[in-house]
């Protein structure tokens, strides 16, 4: 496996030995990014790697939000849709995994989970939308699903991978408060930010291949307990 990138997601696949696979993990990861230079950097690198690896399985990580109906796309999501189109037009063997809030190490990564954790630890004040919901998946579990797909003789896959339970963001805050035994300093804002996913394709796949993933309502707290222990 040829891994492009050196971040948390790329590092999660270090040691995976599946031949004839290019795993692109060097894309823009912050969903609030508005920096056109970053978007262009990813597009340029993606075009280069697609051109050089036409005969290989090409793996790309996109966003679950693209699967949602009637969800307003910001610059980041528009960019991700454009990158998906680029791959589909330039590869005959692609695997696009649409992921939600990804979490692994809780230190210094630009994700919602890490932001909430660091804000509570540092006693920083932050805002929480009163009707904001997020799907999540732990990086090791994402790897399990991706690996299983790549071991099969499939191609041109686009699939959402996420814990099917949708968390209210304030619920995530309260989980951290409980685990850290520390009060968060936040203000509720009367806004909503949510979408619903159909994860039936992923659930059928997990059941068929007997993947040991403990998805459900307690998934996040159990995974965070492991990381904080």
State yes or no: pLDDT of 110 exceeds 80: no
List the CATH code of the domain at 2-228: 3.40.50.720
Confidence tier at 27 by pLDDT (50, 70, 90): confident
- Return the pLDDT at 108: 67
> Which of 105-109, 173-177, 187-191 shows the lowest mean pLDDT across its residues?
105-109
Q: What is the mean pLDDT of residues 193-215?
A: 94
Q: What is the mean pLDDT of residues 146-152?
A: 93
3-state DSSP of the chain: CEEECCCHHHHHCCCCCCCCEEEECCCCCCCCCCCHHHHHHHHHHHHHHHHHCCCCEEEEEEEHHHHCCCCCCCHHHHHHHHHHHHHHHHCCCEEEEEECEEECCCCCCCCHHHHHHHHHHCCCEEEEEEEEEECEEEHHHHHHHHHHHHHCCCCCEEEECCCCCCEEHHHHHHHHHHHHCCCCEEEEEEEEECCCCCCHHHHHHHHHCCCCCCCCCCHHHHHHHHHHC
In three-state secondary structure terms, 60 is: strand
- Return the pLDDT at 215: 97
Q: What is the mean pLDDT of residues 14-24?
A: 91
Please write the tens of the pLDDT for every residue from 111-124. 899 999 999 999 99
Torsion of the alpha carbons at 113, 211, 140 and 94, rounded to the nearest 10: -100
pTM of the predicted model as reported, rounded to 2 decimal places: 0.94
Do 79 and 39 touch, CB atoms closer than 8 A? yes
């Amino acid at each position: 496996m040829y891994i492009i990138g050196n971040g948390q997601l790329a590092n999660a696949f270090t040691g995976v030995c599946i031949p004839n696979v290019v795993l692109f993990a060097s894309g823009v990861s912050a969903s609030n990014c508005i920096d056109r230079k970053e978007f262009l950097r990813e597009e340029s690198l993606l075009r280069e790697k697609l051109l050089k690896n036409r005969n290989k399985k090409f793996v790309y990580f996109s966003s679950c939000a693209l699967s949602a109906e009637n969800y307003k796309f910001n610059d980041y999501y528009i960019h991700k849709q454009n990158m998906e189109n680029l791959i589909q037009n330039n590869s005959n063997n692609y695997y696009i995994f649409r992921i939600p809030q990804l979490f692994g190490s809780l230190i210094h990564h630009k994700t919602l989970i890490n932001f909430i954790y660091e804000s509570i630890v540092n006693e920083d004040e932050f805002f929480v939308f009163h009707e904001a919901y997020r799907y999540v998946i732990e990086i090791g579990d994402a790897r399990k699903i991706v690996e299983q797909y790549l071991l099969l003789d499939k191609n041109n896959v686009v699939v959402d991978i996420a814990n099917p339970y949708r968390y209210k963001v304030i619920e995530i805050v309260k989980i951290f408060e409980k685990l850290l035994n520390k009060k968060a300093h936040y203000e509720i804002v009367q806004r909503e930010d949510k979408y619903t996913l159909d994860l039936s394709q992923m659930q059928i796949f997990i059941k068929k291949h007997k993947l040991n993933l403990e998805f459900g309502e307690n998934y996040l707290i159990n995974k965070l307990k492991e990381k904080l222990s």
